[in-house]
């Protein structure tokens, strides 16, 4: 087990007053060896701590004077200090299996760890969950958790996970709900596998067995060109429309029987089916915004000035691997400074005639296009970037890579402003290992929300029309 290593010490904090330094390894904290940042935070919350610190190969005791609940002020290198619980399922639709070769090693790690579900919003199948895990989740209140359901029929679920424990592991979902743990569920729908009658049966099963679920997101299969599963294929427009119909029919049932809609179809389904998005109120608070549920409506509200703060975190794909703080995706994320070769952007307010290109994925372009058309700003345009790196039906902005952006930007004129959402980046790098400085045109990295885009474009309510996305 690796020891937690201090990577930063807050000025004037108890940790700094006690002499802790970056690079120190914490052998024990309050007499215990913490397994993960969850336990670290629980122990560090106590008053007047004693730490055993390893520095330069030598161990020493350090006493920290602090009040109970006062932040220690020491940031550690990772969320987990013991071994990540890897996934022993072999799901044919798993996106990790669809990654191209040659990416950085950390991206290929496939986890099924409930702690990463709590910290970062990862989904766990519960096939490796134990009684000890349940005791810890309940005792320490590790809530909410995200659980991959996919099907409530035991045989179908075991077949999809390619793991016989998939037939029985949802018993842990029932146990979590019985103990009052907030759980969000997910169904990844694969055409011809768990759509149609199987999806209908799954929603019946949720109502019958797991009605306490906080929400259930129904998302489409993401299929890259690197998949070697012959039976998998993307949804047709008709199949996507059928999924939307099933989900919306069951929303009416859930609303009538439970007082809430419970299940929601991903934005991608509405785009593929060429259907208008539901109104914002139909998403009931956007609980699964990070999983692609209601992103278009929240972005619309933010961009049009109907929201004061962004809705939820914008972590992007693989955020837990090397792009997020150890405290988890609910912790504050500091923006990554742009690399030195990227010039300081010139605001549109000082040069109103400067053409602006908004770089986004093909799905994002379908959302942004109608909004930009209503700006009455002819110098602002949307630049869709086709994802040839992953290929298949991958069109989300969070999976754009530098190679595809470079291909598109090389055909764009010089001297324009090019805006790029930060959801594409993890610690300043794209998934293919390139960086913004490698692109053929300077780009401005902006936070991935409508409020940040408003500011980057210097929009006000008079400038923005009353347009609506995909309607």
Percent of the chain with pLDDT over 70: 89
Query: With respect to CATH, is domain 6-76 assigned 1.20.1260.10?
Result: no
Residue-averaged pLDDT of the chain: 88
Q: Are 216 and 189 in contact (CB under 8 A)?
A: no
The pLDDT value given to residue 338? 38
The pLDDT value given to residue 277? 96
What is the average per-residue pLDDT within 274-284? Answer: 95
pTM, full prediction: 0.87
pLDDT tier at 351, thresholds 50, 70, 90? low
Asked whether residue 353 carries a pLDDT value surpassing 80, the answer given is no
The pLDDT value given to residue 420? 96
Return all residues near 285 (Cβ < 8 A) that are at least 6 apart. none
The pLDDT value given to residue 15? 95
Strands 6-9 vs 25-29: parallel, antiparallel or unpaired: unpaired
Listed residue (60, 71, 69, 63) closest to 25, CA to CA: 60
Domain span(s) for CATH 3.80.30 in the chain: 96-293
Cα(455)–Cα(356) distance, integer angstroms: 13
Distance set, CA 337 to CA 2, 11, 342, 435 (Å): 29, 21, 10, 12
* Sign of the alpha-carbon dihedral angle for 211, 246, 362, 286: negative
Domain span(s) for CATH 2.30.42.10 in the chain: 6-76
What is the average per-residue pLDDT within 438-455? Answer: 94
CATH number of 96-293: 3.80.30
Q: Are 103 and 431 in contact (CB under 8 A)?
A: yes
Tell me: the pLDDT tens digits for 181-216? 999 999 999 999 999 999 999 999 999 999 999 999
Cα(235)–Cα(223) distance, integer angstroms: 10
The pLDDT value given to residue 107? 83
What is the average per-residue pLDDT within 161-175? Answer: 97
Number of Cβ within 10 Å of residue 137's Cβ equals 22
What is the average per-residue pLDDT within 211-223? Answer: 97
Task: Give the DSSP letter of residue 57.
Answer: T
Least confident of 168-172, 206-210, 262-266, 427-431: 427-431
The pLDDT value given to residue 354? 86
101 — phi, psi (to 5°)?
Answer: -70, 160
């Amino acid at each position: 087990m690796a020891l937690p290593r201090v990577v930063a010490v807050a000025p004037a904090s108890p940790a700094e007053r006690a002499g802790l330094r970056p690079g120190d390894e914490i052998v024990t904290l309050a007499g215990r060896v913490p397994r993960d940042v969850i336990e670290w935070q629980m122990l560090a919350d106590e008053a007047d701590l004693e730490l055993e610190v390893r520095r330069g190969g030598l161990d020493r005791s350090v006493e920290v004077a602090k009040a109970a609940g006062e932040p220690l002020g020491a940031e550690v290198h990772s969320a987990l200090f013991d071994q990540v619980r890897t996934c022993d399922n072999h799901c044919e639709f798993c996106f990790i299996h669809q990654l191209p070769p040659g990416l950085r090693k950390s991206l290929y790690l496939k986890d099924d760890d409930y702690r990463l579900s709590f910290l970062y919003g990862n989904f766990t199948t519960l096939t490796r969950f134990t009684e000890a895990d349940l005791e810890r989740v309940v005792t320490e209140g590790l809530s909410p958790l995200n659980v991959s359901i996919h099907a409530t029929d035991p045989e179908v679920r075991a077949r999809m996970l390619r793991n016989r424990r998939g037939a029985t592991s949802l018993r842990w979902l029932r146990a979590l709900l019985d103990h009052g743990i907030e759980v969000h569920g997910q169904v990844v729908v694969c055409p011809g596998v768990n759509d149609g009658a199987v999806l209908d049966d799954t929603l019946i099963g949720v109502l019958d067995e797991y009605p306490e679920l906080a929400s259930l997101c129904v998302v489409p299969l993401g299929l890259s060109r690197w998949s070697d599963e012959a039976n998998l294929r993307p949804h047709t427009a008709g199949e996507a429309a059928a999924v939307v119909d099933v989900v919306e029919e069951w929303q009416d049932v859930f609303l009538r029987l439970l007082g809430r809609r419970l299940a929601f179809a991903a934005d991608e389904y509405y785009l593929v089916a060429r259907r208008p998005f539901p109104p914002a109120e139909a998403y009931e608070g956007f609980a699964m915004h990070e999983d692609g549920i209601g992103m278009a409506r929240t972005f619309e509200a933010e961009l049009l000035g109907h929201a004061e703060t962004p809705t939820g975190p914008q972590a992007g794909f693989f955020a837990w691997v090397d792009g997020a703080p150890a405290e988890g995706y609910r912790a504050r994320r500091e923006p990554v400074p742009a690399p030195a070769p990227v010039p300081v952007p010139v605001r549109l307010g000082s040069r109103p005639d400067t053409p602006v290109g908004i770089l986004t994925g093909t799905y994002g372009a379908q959302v942004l296009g109608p909004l930009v058309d209503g700006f009455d700003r002819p110098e602002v345009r949307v630049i869709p970037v086709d994802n040839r790196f992953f290929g298949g039906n991958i069109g989300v902005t969070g999976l754009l890579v530098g190679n595809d952006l470079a291909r598109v930007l090389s055909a764009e004129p010089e001297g324009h402003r090019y805006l790029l959402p930060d959801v594409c980046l993890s610690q300043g790098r794209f998934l293919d290992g390139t960086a913004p400085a490698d692109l053929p045109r300077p780009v401005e990295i902006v936070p991935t929300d409508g409020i940040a885009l408003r500011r980057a474009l210097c929009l006000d309510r008079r400038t923005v029309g009353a347009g609506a996305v995909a309607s």
